[in-house]
C-alpha cells in the first residue's frame, strides 16, 4: 500500500459528455472515466453514496450521486455556490476533471425491500434522492407503496423536469408536487411540502414504511415535525447529511460530528442516529 500502488487519494481522470441547464444556477454534468477499468468498478455504487470531484485549479469537493446504478449514464448535478462549483459550471463537453469514489454508506436499499418508501424532497434536496426513486422504480416489485413528495420555491425551480413528467404519468406510484409561490399556469398544490401530506386522497402508510427526507434545513425541520406528529418513528426516517469534506475516506476530520465521520459512517443516517450525534443539520 504505497502511494504508487494503492492510493486512496488518487482520482481518475473523467471526461464531460454533456452539460444541461437544470434550473437557475444548477447544472447537470454527464461524464465518464477516461479509463474503462475504474469506470466499470465505479458504476456499482449505491443510491446515497457520493464522490470526491477535483476541478483542476479549484480543488476537490464532495458531490452526491444523483444517478442510479441501474441507469446507463453517470452524472452530477450541482448548484453554483462556491469557488469549486463556480469553476465546475464553466466545464464544457470534452473538458477533463477528476473523480474518486464512490464513498459513504449509501441507502441500504436491500434492507428496505418489502417496505413502503416515502420520499420527501425540497429544492435541490431531490438530487441525492433521485437515485433512490430511480433505483426503487427499476426494482418496482421489491418494494411496497412508493410515494414522492417534492416541493420547490416556484415552478421554475423544479428539477429533473423530464423525470417529474414521467413520474406523474406513471401509474405504479404516486408523485405529488408543490411550490411555495405559484406562477401562471400552475395547477397543482401551492404551499410547503408538508401541506401535501394533508391533501385529500393522500394516504401515507405508517407501518412498514421508510421515509427519506432531504432539503434545506428549514424545510427539514418542518417536515420532520409533521411526520413525527403523524406517527412516524425516528428509526424509520432517513436522511443524508452534508458536511465540508476534504478526503471522503475518514482521515481529514472535517466532517466528524459527535461520534461519527459523515464520510465513512454516513452520509446516510436515520433520524434516531442524527439525534444521537448531537449537532443537527
Phi and psi angles of residue 124, each rounded to the nearest 5 degrees, phi first: -80, 5
Residue 246 contacts other proteins per CB under 8 A: yes
Binding-site member from 16, 19, 61, 159 for other proteins (CB under 8 A) = 61
Which stretch of DSSP H or E encloses residue 219? helix 217-230
CA terminus-to-terminus distance, the chain: 36
Residues sharing a CB contact under 8 Å with residue 57, sequence separation 6 or more, in sequence order = 87
Closer Cβ to other proteins, 22 or 174, answer by number: 22
Residue 225 contacts other proteins per CB under 8 A: no
Closer Cβ to other proteins, 204 or 255, answer by number: 255
Residue 89 contacts other proteins per CB under 8 A: no
Cα four-point dihedral sign 280, 147, 50, 166: negative
Grid cell listed for 277? 450525534
Residue 49 contacts other proteins per CB under 8 A: no
Place of cell 403523524: 230
DSSP letters of 61-116? EEEE--S-TTSS-EEEEEE--SHHHHHHTT--TT-EEEEEEEES----TTTTTTSE
Closer Cβ to other proteins, 90 or 198, answer by number: 90
Residues 245, 272, 238, 101: what is their CA dihedral angle, to the nearest 10 degrees? 30
Residue 92 contacts other proteins per CB under 8 A: no
Give me the helices (H) in the chain, please: 36-42, 83-88, 126-138, 161-169, 217-230, 262-265, 271-277
- Min dist CB 226 to other proteins, Å, is 23
Residue 37 contacts other proteins per CB under 8 A: no
Closer Cβ to other proteins, 64 or 85, answer by number: 85
Binding-site member from 30, 105, 250, 270 for other proteins (CB under 8 A) = 250
Binding-site member from 70, 105, 195, 264 for other proteins (CB under 8 A) = 264
Do the strands 268-270 and 260-261 form a parallel or antiparallel pair, or are they unpaired? unpaired
Single out the segment in contact with other proteins by CB under 8 A; choices: 80-88, 142-150, 172-180, 182-190. Answer: 80-88
Residue 98 contacts other proteins per CB under 8 A: yes
Closer Cβ to other proteins, 98 or 182, answer by number: 98
What is residue 9's three-state secondary structure?
coil
Residues in the interface with other proteins (CB under 8 A) total 49
- Min dist CB 183 to other proteins, Å, is 25
Query: Where along the sequence are the contacts to other proteins (CB under 8 A)?
Result: 1-11, 13, 54, 56-61, 81-85, 96, 98, 242-244, 246-247, 249-260, 264, 276, 278-281
Amino acid at each position: 500500500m504505497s502511494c504508487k500502488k494503492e492510493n486512496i487519494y488518487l482520482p481518475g481522470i473523467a471526461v464531460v459528455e454533456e452539460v444541461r441547464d437544470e434550473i437557475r444556477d444548477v447544472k447537470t454534468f454527464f461524464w465518464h472515466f477516461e479509463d474503462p477499468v475504474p469506470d466499470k468498478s465505479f458504476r456499482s455504487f449505491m443510491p446515497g453514496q457520493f464522490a470526491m470531484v477535483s476541478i483542476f485549479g479549484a480543488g476537490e469537493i464532495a458531490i452526491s450521486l444523483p444517478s442510479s446504478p441501474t441507469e446507463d449514464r453517470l452524472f452530477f448535478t450541482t448548484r453554483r455556490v462556491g469557488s469549486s462549483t463556480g469553476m465546475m459550471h464553466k466545464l464544457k463537453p470534452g473538458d477533463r476533471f477528476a473523480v474518486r469514489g464512490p464513498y459513504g454508506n449509501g441507502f441500504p436499499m436491500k434492507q428496505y425491500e418489502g417496505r413502503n418508501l416515502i420520499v420527501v424532497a425540497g429544492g435541490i434536496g431531490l438530487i441525492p434522492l433521485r437515485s433512490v426513486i430511480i433505483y426503487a422504480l427499476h426494482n418496482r416489485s421489491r418494494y411496497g407503496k412508493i410515494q414522492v413528495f417534492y416541493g420547490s420555491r416556484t415552478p421554475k425551480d423544479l428539477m429533473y423536469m423530464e423525470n417529474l413528467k414521467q413520474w406523474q404519468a406513471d401509474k405504479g406510484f404516486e408523485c405529488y408536487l408543490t411550490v411555495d409561490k405559484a406562477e401562471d399556469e400552475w395547477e397543482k398544490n401551492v404551499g410547503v411540502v408538508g401541506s401535501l401530506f394533508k391533501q385529500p386522497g393522500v394516504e401515507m402508510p405508517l407501518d412498514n414504511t421508510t421515509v427519506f427526507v432531504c432539503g434545506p434545513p428549514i424545510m427539514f425541520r418542518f417536515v420532520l415535525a409533521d411526520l413525527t406528529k403523524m406517527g412516524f418513528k425516528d428509526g424509520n426516517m432517513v436522511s443524508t447529511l452534508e458536511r465540508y469534506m476534504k478526503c471522503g475516506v475518514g482521515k481529514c476530520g472535517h466532517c466528524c460530528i459527535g461520534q461519527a465521520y459523515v464520510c465513512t459512517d454516513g452520509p446516510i443516517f436515520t433520524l434516531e442516529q442524527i439525534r444521537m450525534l448531537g449537532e443537527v443539520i
